[in-house]
């Protein structure tokens, strides 16, 4: 609309003014010849000139308004772009700072376990299926990943295991996935048990601790660690704590509900243990 007014508005209104002047001249010519024309023009000149000047001023004001409107809109668009670029730079800067913090904390873990070979990977997508709890990272066989690799955080908390791997991608099943089956150690005494995935607990971000060593007893708030059985996950990785104790089979068998130490919903970057020293 603004473009139409700017391109055609002045021409259209000038044409209308010319038609009006010609019509007035025709009327005066019909009424009195040349004398009437002279008198009529003289009489009509003042109000016509005044109206034309006002109209010209209005047109000029409209042109200035439209020109300024487009200029201000262009400046606003440029400012929005600058703000968006600045926000993106700020986000990138924050991401870099957070990654440096994670790497610094990982360095402490690496110093405690010099045999660990890590591969850093960022979470790029979460699975959408209701029967599994998994995510995808943009690392794969090209970086030396294989199925079964242990996945942890920079603090040494267990996240899960690599369940499927491609050339440049891998799927990680979290420790609350229904297919989880990991050897565990309970508390300071180190009683053995199994961490198992449970569909009814998965959506609560919890897992089941079952089959504790005969004669051992489970206690609330006990810490759970990996046992290292199976050779795929190092011993001593922090799993979580027992937050509930349940019984089954007429109350004769106890099992624990384990809440992971890691906040699975807050994962951005993980570290995959590609190799470590296994005890004979």
- Pair (148, 167) in one structural domain: yes
CA torsion, points 161, 162, 163, 166, in degrees to nearest 10? Answer: 180
Of 69, 93, 112, the one marking the end of a domain is: 112
Q: What share of the chain is helix, strand, coil (3-state, %, to 5)?
A: 45, 30, 30
Indicate the number of domains in the chain.
2
Q: For residue range 216-256, what is the model confidence (pLDDT) as tens digits?
A: 889 999 999 999 998 999 999 999 999 999 987 666 678 99
DSSP letter for 140, please: -
**pTM to 2 decimals?**
0.65
pLDDT at 181: 96
pLDDT at 5: 45
- Pair (98, 125) in one structural domain: no
Domain carrying residue 268: 117-275
Q: Is 187 helix (H, G, I), strand (E, B) or coil?
A: coil
Answer whether residue 280 is part of any domain.
no
Model confidence at 4, pLDDT cuts 50, 70, 90, reads: very low
pLDDT at 76: 72
pLDDT at 217: 86
CATH number at residue 232: 2.40.10.350
């Amino acid at each position: 609309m603004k473009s139409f007014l700017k391109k055609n508005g002045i021409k259209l209104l000038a044409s209308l003014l010319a038609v009006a002047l010609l019509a007035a001249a025709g009327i005066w010519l019909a009424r009195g010849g040349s004398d009437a024309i002279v008198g009529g023009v003289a009489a009509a000149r003042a109000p016509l000139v005044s109206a034309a000047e006002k109209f010209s001023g209005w047109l000029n004001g409209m042109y200035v308004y439209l020109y300024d409107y487009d200029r201000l809109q262009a400046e606003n668009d440029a400012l929005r772009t600058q703000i968006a670029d600045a926000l993106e730079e700020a986000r990138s800067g924050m991401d870099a700072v957070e990654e440096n913090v994670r790497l610094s904390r990982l360095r402490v873990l690496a110093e405690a376990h010099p045999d660990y070979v890590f591969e850093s990977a960022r979470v790029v997508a979460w699975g959408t299926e209701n029967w599994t709890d998994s995510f995808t990272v943009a690392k794969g066989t090209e970086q030396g990943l294989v199925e079964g690799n242990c996945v942890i955080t920079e603090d040494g908390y267990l996240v899960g295991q690599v369940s499927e791997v491609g050339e440049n991608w891998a799927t990680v099943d979290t420790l609350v996935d229904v297919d989880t089956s990991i050897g565990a150690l309970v508390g300071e005494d180190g009683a053995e048990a199994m961490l198992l995935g449970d569909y009814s607990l998965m959506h609560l971000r919890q897992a089941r601790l079952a089959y504790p060593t005969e004669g051992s007893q489970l206690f609330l708030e006990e810490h759970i660690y990996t046992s290292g059985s199976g050779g795929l996950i190092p011993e001593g990785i922090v799993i979580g704590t027992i937050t509930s104790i349940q019984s089954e089979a007429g109350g004769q068998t106890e099992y624990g509900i384990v809440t992971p130490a890691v906040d699975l919903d807050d994962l951005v970057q993980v570290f995959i243990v590609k190799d470590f020293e296994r005890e004979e």
